[in-house]
Amino acid sequence: MAKKLKKIPRFASEAAERKFWETHDSTLYVDWSKARRVRFTKLKPSTTAISIRLPTDLLEQIKNSANRKDVPYQSLIKMWLAEKMGQIRTGR
């Protein structure tokens, strides 16, 4: 016998939905065995290009660090910025 699924509530905002799913098990609301993979080919990246001037030696140091970690240097910069913002948000 198939399990009776709960009805997914309507959410006032994306933030409210995010908070809901942080504390609820989706398997009580969705039959994942019927899920299908999809591709959203027309989605635009949610990023913004910026220009930042860095001293040449600093950029070379960043590129060297990125090479050692085997990641693109721009990705490494994004990771470092995200880590720092996380520290700031948590007060560390």
Task: Specify if 80 maps to a domain.
Answer: yes
Task: Specify if 32 maps to a domain.
Answer: no
Annotate 6-16 with b (16+ C-beta within 10 A) or e (fewer): eeeeeeeeeee
Task: Specify if 16 maps to a domain.
Answer: no
Q: How many domains does the chain have?
A: 1
Task: Specify if 68 maps to a domain.
Answer: yes
Task: Specify if 84 maps to a domain.
Answer: yes
Q: What is the pLDDT of residues 7-25, one digit of tens each?
A: 999 999 999 999 999 999 9
Amino acid residing at 46: S
Residue 41 confidence (pLDDT): 87
- Quote the CA–CA distance of 69 and 55 in Å, as a whole number: 21
The pTM score is: 0.52
Task: Specify if 67 maps to a domain.
Answer: yes
- Quote the CA–CA distance of 22 and 31 in Å, as a whole number: 18
Q: What is the pLDDT of residues 23-65, one digit of tens each?
A: 999 999 999 999 999 988 888 878 889 999 999 999 999 999 9
Task: Specify if 30 maps to a domain.
Answer: no
Residue 92 confidence (pLDDT): 73
> Structural domain of residue 80, as residue ranges?
56-90
